[in-house]
Structure 1
Amino acid sequence: MDWFVAPEYETSRLVFQRTLAGVYLVAFLTAALQFRALLGERGLLPVPRFVARVPFRAAPSLFQLHYSDRFFAGCAWAGCAVSAALLAGVDSLVPLWAALLLWLVPWLLYLSIVNVGQTWYSFGWESLLLEVGFAAVWLGNDEVAPPVVMLFLLRWILFRVEFGAGLIKMRGDECWRKLTCLDHHHETQPMPGPLSWFFHHLPKPLHRVEVAANHVTQLVVPFLLFTPQPVATAAAALMIVTQLWLVLSGNFAWLNWITIVLALSAVAFPADPPDRPGAPLWYEVTVLVVAALLVGLSYHPVANMISRRQVMNRSFDPLHLVNTYGAFGSVSRVRHEVVIEGTLDETPREDSDWREYEFKGKPGDPRRWPRQFAPYHLRLDWLMWFAALSPSYAGSWFGTLMERLLENDRATLRLLRRSPFPPDEPPRFVRARLFRYRYTTWRELRETGACWERTFVREYLPPTRLAGSAHRP
């Protein structure tokens, strides 16, 4: 069927597949390096405890069938290996059916991780990677030209990502309608980047322009994705530029990068398409059946998107095939941070020698400048931002975190930038305090060298110790 394929998008498919494999690689690497402290048998939210109470049908995962820390590590590193192979183009060297199976492997492995990841994997980009990854399975390899219906579905995902995010902003917080959200957002976002301080200090009129441009990109431009070329390419390019602007302004894991990957699939790169034989019948039928399934499942995201009670980042099926997205429906005006400290003193007092734990990404020492980590995702740092918003966000894991710090647990300490205590001398007490953080002014930066100024707000968790440790030497 001539209408089934779009040979002119051969290069688009190639660029899309390689960049998607790169995002997969980062996602699996994040899982491999962080899971033991977060989800392991002695993690803050252990997988064995989760699968004991949640049935397979509600959260299908390989780890429902078997779990051990070694098995999880094997799956995560296997995901890294397959993603690296796809990044190198191995799928082009195998038959079509084998290429489909090869792309199915990272999707299945990452689905297994997300479905037992609990609050650590509750972010929208997890479902987005799975939805995009499932659609990518059916794009084929060099044996066939890209199927038109799958290219359309990739644009449909991009449309829902952008348009849904635009609607949630307009409905969620009046500062988006007044064009004032960026007066606060760069300072209060979950994890600032090295340039966020400078973005915050841009002139306020420019902030208004940024917000207005964002509204145009998310509420108008997405409709142009379904127009003929070169308009669709121009629309995708504008989205890519907007996402790169966001990459510079903060650390949003791979949310911006997966959106860029989607936009690349809509770009018509200049190239002479090679002559390909017709696609096999079994492949055409499979792709059309999958496309019909995904279109049918789109009912719930569309209904949510047009609803006045629109919600962000929700999956409507346990396989995360079609989801709804959105970010920053409301913007915090004030930044709070939870600062964790420990002491070796036998009796904790206000004048004790309290030493501060340093996190890798979240603000701590006012003089330490933020670093760029995205697309790598520092999961604990992100959840600490939520914990500062309300203790209810951390009720399931914060107490265990403090316990692991009292034990000098090696896996947990690897999530941090620095522990103030030697490995053989854990703290006797730990506590948590809430501070208000604000960016310094240009003058304060020159005088103090500090990018943050912080003010004590209240006690978050009083000094606590391990049970039965009163007579510990």
Structure 2
Amino acid sequence: VAFLVAFQQNKQLIGEKGLLPCKLYLQEIKKYFKGKVGLEALSYAPTLLWFLDWSAMDSTLDCLALAGLALAAFVLLTGCANMVLMSLLWLLYLSLVNVGQIWWVLRWESQLLETGFLGIFLCPLWSLSRLPQGSPPSRIVIWSFRWLIFRIMLGAGLIKIRGDRCWRELTCMDYHYETQPVPSPISYLLHRSPWWFHRLETLGNHVLELVVPFFLLLGRRMSLLHGLLQILFQVLLIISGNLSFLNWLTMVPSIACFDDASLGLLFGSR
């Protein structure tokens, strides 16, 4: 989805005649570092575009997006991936985000990159087997995903509490559904709910974002409950609104809250 969105919007936003051409952005960075494309410039804006043709930037941006789209489609449709493919996907999207300027600064861009980076280490180095027996994921990677969902949810809750007073007064849901980016048909029905229902919604949001994340520290059963609650929460958000792929993306680290015994129920014996 992210690569498809990039393909559709790149030229209008950062293309040769876009609102903020990435070619000019890279030229300014190069000028700042005295005309050299060295480690300093690469660390400031890590992107494959430094090594590609700038004379037809629109085509170059399209190639990056289409390459990512093709690789992502292969992984999605076949269920096969390895560290090489996942690294390429991560590098391609990183290359677009780092020249996207103000257009690629939303929360889900960095979240997708971090999730994708961790996903590299879930895969075997070369094998394209769907469930490789010889390379189980490391506990470090699993806990890194758990740490990610912990930070996502707790951070979202703290931002709300520290921000608009309506979150502290439990009144935000009174007008959330009519002011969100792309309301769904169900949003209208939820908006018409009684005031006490909106108070419960806001309170429930605080519990899920400020209390439930700590379930990860309370043993296996509470970790399973945490994963289940967070996935159900994201499903409710998807049904009631539209935040692009953010909610789908947030489900991914939540899966790490489940162990082999619980996930094994979803798969038959081999």
- Normalising TM by the smaller chain, what interval? 0.7 to 0.9
Q: 1:251 aligns with which of 238, 242, 267?
A: 242
Q: Is the 8 A contact 2:121 2:137 kept in 1?
A: no
Over 3 Å counting, the alpha-carbon distance change for 1:270 and 1:111 in structure 2 is closer
- Give the 3-state SS of the residue equivalent to 2:42 in structure 1: coil
Comparing both structures, which one devotes a greater share of its residues to helix?
Answer: 2
2:222 corresponding residue in structure 1:
231
Over 3 Å counting, the alpha-carbon distance change for 1:270 and 1:263 in structure 2 is closer
CA offset digits 1:4-61 (Å, max 9, x no partner)? xxxxxxxxxxxxxxxxxxxxxx111111122112211111211111111134331111
| Paired residue type of 2:264 | A
| Paired residue type of 1:58 | Y
Matched, 1:43 2:12: no
Q: 1:59 aligns with which of 45, 57, 73?
A: 45
1:166 corresponding residue in structure 2:
157
CA offset digits 1:53-95 (Å, max 9, x no partner)? 134331111123333211211111110111112222232xxxx
Matched, 1:106 2:99: no
CA distance, structure 2, for counterparts of residue 195 and residue 59 of structure 1:
41
* Ranges in structure 1 where 5+ consecutive residues have no aligned partner: 1-25, 92-98, 274-473
Q: Is the 8 A contact 2:143 2:256 kept in 1?
A: no
- Give the 3-state SS of the residue equivalent to 1:179 in structure 2: coil
CA distance, structure 2, for counterparts of residue 168 and residue 188 of structure 1:
18
TM-score, scaled to structure 2? 0.85
2:122 corresponding residue in structure 1:
139
2:203 corresponding residue in structure 1:
212
2:264 corresponding residue in structure 1:
271
Shift of 1:193: 2.6
Q: 1:69 aligns with which of 58, 79, 85?
A: 58
CA distance, structure 2, for counterparts of residue 198 and residue 119 of structure 1:
34
Identity %: 42
- Give the 3-state SS of the residue equivalent to 2:166 in structure 1: helix
CA distance, structure 2, for counterparts of residue 77 and residue 194 of structure 1:
32
Shift of 1:198: 2.0
| Paired residue type of 1:75 | L
- Give the 3-state SS of the residue equivalent to 1:144 in structure 2: coil
Aligned residues: 242
* Ranges in structure 2 where 5+ consecutive residues have no aligned partner: 30-40, 125-131
CA distance, structure 2, for counterparts of residue 101 and residue 121 of structure 1:
25
Matched, 1:89 2:72: no
Alignment of 1:54-453 (within 5 A): 54=29, 55-66=41-52, 67=54, 68-87=57-76, 88-91=78-81, 99-141=82-124, 142=132, 143-268=134-259, 269-271=262-264
CA distance, structure 2, for counterparts of residue 270 and residue 166 of structure 1:
28
Shift of 1:270: 4.3
CA offset digits 1:88-134 (Å, max 9, x no partner)? 2232xxxxxxx211110110000000001112111000000001111
Comparing both structures, which one devotes a greater share of its residues to strand?
Answer: 1
CA distance, structure 1, for counterparts of residue 140 and residue 49 of structure 2:
33
CA distance, structure 2, for counterparts of residue 53 and residue 202 of structure 1:
52
TM-score, scaled to structure 1? 0.49
Structure 1 residue runs of 4 or more that deviate by more than 3 Å after TM superposition: none
Which of the two has higher C-alpha Rg?
A: 1
CA offset digits 1:224-253 (Å, max 9, x no partner)? 123322321111111111111111222111
- Give the 3-state SS of the residue equivalent to 2:19 in structure 1: coil
> Which of structures 1 and 2 has the larger relative contact order (alpha carbons within 8 angstroms, sep 6+)?
1
